[in-house]
Amino acid sequence: MSFVNSDSDNNSFGSRNSIRTRRSRSGRRIYPRGNDDYMMPQDPIPFRPRKLVKHQTPQEAIDEFWAKFTTKAPGKATTVIPQNPYTAKVARKNAKATSSSTTTQASYETAAAMCRAKVEKIVQECRRVNKRYRDPHFDLEADLKLCRRDCLESLSNFEPLDNPGKDFRPGSAKRVVEIFDKPQFYIEGPTANDVRQGRDGDCWLMSALCTLSNKKGLIEKLCVAHDQDVGVYGFVFYRDGEWISEIVDDFLYLTKSDYDEKHWERVLFDELERVNPEEAYRKVYQSNSSALYFAQCQHPQETWLPLLEKCYAKAHGDYAAIEGGYGGEGIEDLTGGVTSEIFTTDILDKEYFWKEELLKVNQDFLFGCSTGVWGINWGERKGILELHSYSIQKAVDIDGKRLLRLKNPWGKGEWKGPWSDGSKEWTPEWLEKLDHRFGDDGDFWIAYEDLLQKYQAFERTRLFDETWQVSQIWTTVNVPWMLDYHDTHFSLRITKPGPVVIVLAQLDDRYFRGLHGQYKFELAFRVHKAGHEDYLVRSQAPYRMRRSVNVELDLEAGEYDIRVKIDAARLDRILPIETVIRNNAKKRREKLTRIGLAYDLAHSKGKIVESPEEKAAREAHEKRVKDKEQRDIKEKILERRRDDHHLNIKQLSRIQRREKKRKEKQKAKDTERRLRIKKGDEETDKPDEDGSEQRDQPDENHTVPSSLNGAGASKAKRRSPRSIPPADRFGRSASQGDAPPSSSYYESESDGGLISIESLSELSDHEMDLQVKAFMNNQLHKPVIVTPPSLRFEDELDEFERDPWNAVVVIGLRVYHKVDEEDKTKEVITLKVVRPNPYADSDEDDTAATEEDTKEGQDSKSKGLDVDDSAKDATLEGGVKDRKKSIVGNGEMQ
């Protein structure tokens, strides 16, 4: 502890004016409070220079804001795993897949064949070593015992870092043969009554399975192969436009832990005397379907549902990844269909909707429904749960009654209005007609008018059979902050008229949850006849299911433009991908590797493949740039030669003038010397007092510029003529004076012995190329001077410059079309991505610019505002007839 005295006149230790101080850990002196008689010394306040205020017009300030708001280098991370060799393979496969149409069943058949091959390989391997199959990539038992929880929890991209799924608390994990007394995969086939939701929030998936069970064969198509003895099961699912296969073992989570692991539960259980308490504990808490932690079948020995749920969870990374969703998206993943969202308030003709839509349930369409879609809390409406997904099992029109049978995937909780269990509408005749039994099993009937009143949204999924073909193409686009139709669009060419289903989709981020980034996207598109401003149809705005949008219509043969609009929203509470990687790289290496690989493979779909037209445009642009650069360099070289030539001429002129003056003075002196000799003057010549003779001597170190032309360049260094000392005719020695040179000397050397500069010669092409190459090499190896960043406060980045707008999304267009038997081998649909040409140089090639302007003008016609946009009228051009035509078209496709 140190002490200091604030009074310079009083140095006594115990003086009233002495102040006791101490030092903090950082070394700073800390003074006590409460003494107001003296000014306490304080640390100096760092000087902050005053920030300069820019004087800008309002427009300049706005322009500067937007310039800082959007990133100068847009882009998205496409690979999370370093040096991932698999993404290139997927990109090449996707590039080949977009070149032709395939049947909707071709992808399923390929995935099913791969799944069977995997199961067969694993069975052979396990039987060879006499072991049951244990999935090293999704090992529930090891993951639970070692507290890794990678099979339960997703990667967290929230602050604070609470992993989704942290509330899951299964007690143990055991094999199917250890849980079930007599396990069977199917017992009388999969039905809606089999479905019982567990502790995972995947009611949407359970509802989808209930819906699938109404159409025979749909669930059976998902489980392709299995071997119960070995413990291996293979399933297929639909993801991002293609079917995939997935393999799991037979471990399942149980609610209760083992008998030997939980002390208090064991003490309570052992209060009753039992012959074999451990076996009794297993039968009560760890046997058959009721012991499972997640989904379970109603029958105690049936296993298909928990194994399918487990495989679906593995395909998406973990059990937490499948929490929350929409039944329509679940049906898409299980059937490969296309789901449309229909709000009850948007139905125009309810009679048509009943006859042409609902009565065809389980034929061309599958239906789900939900209510409370605009709410944020859970509630109930006469037994109907809000924010909960139900499946429509059946629709009947009997004796003037329009009734529908619905299924709650919980297996309990039913409608309590008319036609509910025990209501007055039921009679023995109606029970027999509808084959219904009362019971709290989640299965109930409801009238059509009550359905429209109590439910707010329907999810209708169209199914595709072997008569449909599909073409698809993917790309990556940069999404600007301004909401408008994108410059990049799709081109569709169809050779046969008929019904088509057009789907615009983004990647399903559920299977790389945690790495999906800070932006969410809503998609929309319009269909235009190529070159027409008016559109034929546009997609419905997505309010809940944002993964894809679609339209169904009949198209004539021809070319069409698909204009895309993408609404991006930034979620600041979501961590960026690089931060998630940094947070998990050390602690969850295996989890990050698996999810990162899924991310990389997904984004390889959107890798931009250069088309032949784009390659030709790029090469032409690069050639123009190179030629322009060489022309600029040649111009610089010629300009430098002209400047050097001009300077050399001026320098040589100065030298010649000095030499001429020196010779004139020397001639005068020599003349004077001859006169003295004639008079008999024998005095030895003496140098001038002022040293003019030395001053008149030329500079021996002076050199003529190296750029002088001619073979006599070496003569330019010749010394100026001096007096010649031979003996004169009077016999005087050299010491008595030099004899002056003859006058012919000055006449012949009147130019001072210096060469003249010729006119600037032209360089040959070869010489010019050599100089251009030397110039470019010099520029290439020129050291780059890195200036340190400015430390002035006015140069600090604002919040938008530190983290600018950078929204990038991978989107894909799928087109389903129905074909006849004779057209199955023909190329009916052709898709391509049309991007704006970044290499258009109107200053370089007027012809190319004219063609490019014409093409861009045609493309811009289909990029106008929607007809219901408030600014539409202001953007229309021409007279009334032209304006009307831009809205309704010319009537060809009406």
Split at pLDDT 50, 70, 90, the class of 494 is very high
Q: Does 388 participate in catalysis according to the annotation?
A: yes
Rounded to a whole number of angstroms, the distance between the first and last alpha carbons of the chain is 93
Please name the helix (run of DSSP H) or strand (run of DSSP E) that holds residue 293, with its range, or none: none
- Domain residue spans in the chain? 106-150+168-328, 337-462, 476-613+806-863
Rounded Cα distance between 550 and 328, Å, is 13
Split at pLDDT 50, 70, 90, the class of 302 is very high
Split at pLDDT 50, 70, 90, the class of 111 is very high
Split at pLDDT 50, 70, 90, the class of 292 is very high
Check if the beta carbon of residue 708 is closer than 8 Å to that of residue 757. Answer: yes
The C-alpha R_g of the chain, in whole angstroms, comes to 45
pLDDT at 267: 78
The pair phi, psi for residue 66, each rounded to 5°, is -70, -30
Q: Using the predicted structure, report yes or no on whether residue 737 has a pLDDT greater than 60.
A: no
Our CA angle for 416, 417, 418, nearest 5°, is 135
Between 96-110, 595-609, 613-627, the lowest mean confidence (pLDDT) is in: 96-110
Mean pLDDT of the chain: 81
If DSSP states are collapsed to H, E and C, what string results for 444-503?
EEEEHHHHHHHCCEEEEEECCCCCEEEEEEEEEEEECCCCCECCCEEEEEECCCEEEEEE
pLDDT at 736: 44
- Could you give the percent of the chain with pLDDT greater than 90? 46
Rounded Cα distance between 564 and 502, Å, is 12
Q: What is the pLDDT of residues 5-31, one digit of tens each?
A: 444 444 443 444 444 455 544 455 554
Residue that wins the pLDDT comparison between 359 and 824:
359
Tokens (6 digits) for 882: 């032209």
Q: What is the pLDDT of residues 830-884, one digit of tens each?
A: 999 998 877 765 444 444 444 555 555 555 556 677 776 776 667 777 677 766 7
Split at pLDDT 50, 70, 90, the class of 266 is confident
Length of the chain: 894
pLDDT at 733: 40
What's 547's DSSP letter? S
pLDDT at 327: 92
Q: Using the predicted structure, report yes or no on whether residue 225 has a pLDDT greater than 80.
A: yes
Which one from 226, 299, 316, 388 is the annotated catalytic residue? 388
Matching residue, tokens 């297929």? 236
pLDDT at 889: 63
Between 37-41, 133-137, 271-275, 577-581, the lowest mean confidence (pLDDT) is in: 37-41
296-316 mean pLDDT = 97
Q: Using the predicted structure, report yes or no on whether residue 499 has a pLDDT greater than 90.
A: yes
- Whole-structure pTM value: 0.76
Cis omega (within 30 of 0) on the bond before 725?
A: no
Phi-psi region of 43 (alpha: psi -120 to 50; beta: other; left: phi over 0): beta
152-175 mean pLDDT = 90
Q: Which residues contact 433 (CB under 8 A, 6 or more apart)?
A: 398
Split at pLDDT 50, 70, 90, the class of 251 is very high
pLDDT at 790: 46
Tokens (6 digits) for 816: 């389903």
Between 86-95, 97-106, 343-352, 569-578, the lowest mean confidence (pLDDT) is in: 86-95
Which one from 157, 163, 214, 408 is the annotated catalytic residue? 408
pLDDT at 707: 44
Q: Using the predicted structure, report yes or no on whether residue 102 has a pLDDT greater than 90.
A: no
pLDDT at 797: 66
688-698 mean pLDDT = 46
Cβ-based neighbour number of residue 774 at 10 Å? 12
The pair phi, psi for residue 240, each rounded to 5°, is 50, 45
812-827 mean pLDDT = 86
Q: What is the pLDDT of residues 653-680, one digit of tens each?
A: 899 899 889 988 888 888 888 888 887 7
CA 422 → CA 37, 381, 391, distances in Å? 89, 18, 21
Query: What does the DSSP assignment read for 784-808?
Result: PPPPPPP--GGGS--HHHHS-B-EE
Q: Does 147 participate in catalysis according to the annotation?
A: no
Split at pLDDT 50, 70, 90, the class of 819 is confident
pLDDT at 644: 86
pLDDT at 65: 77
Rounded Cα distance between 832 and 612, Å, is 12
Split at pLDDT 50, 70, 90, the class of 288 is very high
Rounded Cα distance between 613 and 621, Å, is 12
Q: Using the predicted structure, report yes or no on whether residue 592 has a pLDDT greater than 80.
A: yes
Split at pLDDT 50, 70, 90, the class of 596 is very high
Rounded Cα distance between 76 and 809, Å, is 8
Check if the beta carbon of residue 180 is closer than 8 Å to that of residue 174. Answer: no
Q: Does 203 participate in catalysis according to the annotation?
A: yes
Q: Using the predicted structure, report yes or no on whether residue 235 has a pLDDT greater than 80.
A: yes
Between 348-352, 448-452, 501-505, 774-778, the lowest mean confidence (pLDDT) is in: 774-778
Quickly name the fold that domain 337-462 has.
Cathepsin B; Chain A (3.90.70)
Which one from 115, 126, 203, 210 is the annotated catalytic residue? 203
Between 197-206, 511-520, 619-628, 784-793, the lowest mean confidence (pLDDT) is in: 784-793
CA 76 → CA 268, 578, 594, 600, 802, distances in Å? 56, 11, 20, 12, 17
Q: Using the predicted structure, report yes or no on whether residue 697 has a pLDDT greater than 70.
A: no
Q: Using the predicted structure, report yes or no on whether residue 782 has a pLDDT greater than 70.
A: no
Q: Helix (H, G, I), strand (E, B), or coil: what is residue 33? A: coil
Nearest to 222 by CA among 98, 120, 315, 155: 315
- Could you give the percent of the chain with pLDDT greater than 70? 75
Tokens (6 digits) for 624: 């123009």
CA 582 → CA 491, 513, 575, 587, 589, distances in Å? 41, 16, 11, 10, 11
Q: Helix (H, G, I), strand (E, B), or coil: what is residue 680? A: coil
